[in-house]
Amino acid sequence: MNPSPHPSRKKNLVLAIRLAGTLISTALFVWLLSRQKWDVLLDKAAGIAFWALLLAAGFYLLSYGFNTLRWCLLLWAQNVKITFFQAYRLTWAGNFASNFLPSTIGGDGFRMLSVHPYTGSKSISIGSVALDRIINMAAMACLIPAPLIIFGNTMREAIPAPAWGAVTLPFGLRKLFEKFFPKVVAAFQAWAAKPAALVYAFLAAWPSNLLPMAATYLLARQLGMNVTPWQVIGVQTVTYFLSVLPISVNGYGLREVAYTTLYSALGSTLEQASTLALVTRFLTVISTVPGALWLSSVVINSAALDENS
């Protein structure tokens, strides 16, 4: 019987894959940027009205509120004593942590750890975050017809094959949890006994996803891009499932390449698509900055609660 690889080697391999994915996608985006006229790009970015930037940032912040509400509905269904503001701080701190962690769901691990003092149960802590992510992905999966109708077969040729596996990820998670996380499966069964909470959480997932799309549409129109809300939904759906793949850090480069490629396919210029990718990335990162202010306090408070529990 051959000995299994050392755990540290596996971990290093995974980290190497993520780093390579980030570097490759970022290099592609830099290459795309090198093909355009920077004076045109900066001129287009400067043409965005200040009120539009503020409104778009407000949409992002409001979406974080609905993300928190979705999670709170699951926690409250299990009688977890946590306020909306407490959960909002955990969510915001997790969003900031995601800027430096794999894919766009890296902050989920932070939420699992930080909410444990409130739940007192590993299965509820892990299960609530995992179920929250699954419900959000299920809501996004409902939007898959948009990119299929808009791009058709050309999208399957442009998007790497592994990305399509992310579409079916929520359905494949059941076997994974049954094998490795029996306690989480038991927690899921507890939520299944309270279907109303699942329905409300699913409904809360819609504004949390549509608000960033509204921000993108607003900025795209400010840049003179002739796109429809339906087309923005289609592009954002594709980039969402690409970003959750654990092959890059917070989807850096990968998301920008997808934006540039897909919006260019819809008739936008390279400068317009690249500017939109850069501006929306800047706003999403800036909107998570308050989470940095709470990050240390969340860790300290969680540790204190854990000691007192």
Region class of 253: left (phi > 0), else alpha (psi between -120 and 50), else beta: left
Q: Which domain holds residue 124?
A: 38-308
Instruction: Establish if 24 belongs to a structural domain.
Output: no
Query: Distance (Å, rounded) from C-alpha 90 to C-alpha 53?
Result: 25
Instruction: Establish if 304 belongs to a structural domain.
Output: yes
Contacts of 307 (CB under 8 A, 6+ apart): none
Which of the four pLDDT bands, split at 50, 70 and 90, describes residue 290?
A: confident
How many domains, in total, are found in the chain?
Answer: 1
Of residues 5 and 196, the one with the higher pLDDT is 196
Instruction: Establish if 11 belongs to a structural domain.
Output: no
Give me the half-sphere count of Cα atoms (radius 13 Å) on the Cβ side of residue 27.
Answer: 6
DSSP 49-85: -HHHHHHHHHHHHHHHHHHHHHHHHHHHHTT----HH
- Whether residue 244 has pLDDT greater than 80: no
- Structural tokens at position 241: 């499932």
pLDDT digits (tens, 9 = 90+) for 72-116: 999 999 999 999 999 998 888 888 777 766 555 667 878 888 888
Instruction: Establish if 10 belongs to a structural domain.
Output: no
Residue 60's pLDDT is what?
A: 93
- Whether residue 202 has pLDDT greater than 90: yes
Instruction: Establish if 1 belongs to a structural domain.
Output: no
Which of the four pLDDT bands, split at 50, 70 and 90, describes residue 171?
A: very low
Instruction: Establish if 258 belongs to a structural domain.
Output: yes
- Whether residue 273 has pLDDT greater than 70: yes
Instruction: Establish if 114 belongs to a structural domain.
Output: yes
Instruction: Establish if 276 belongs to a structural domain.
Output: yes
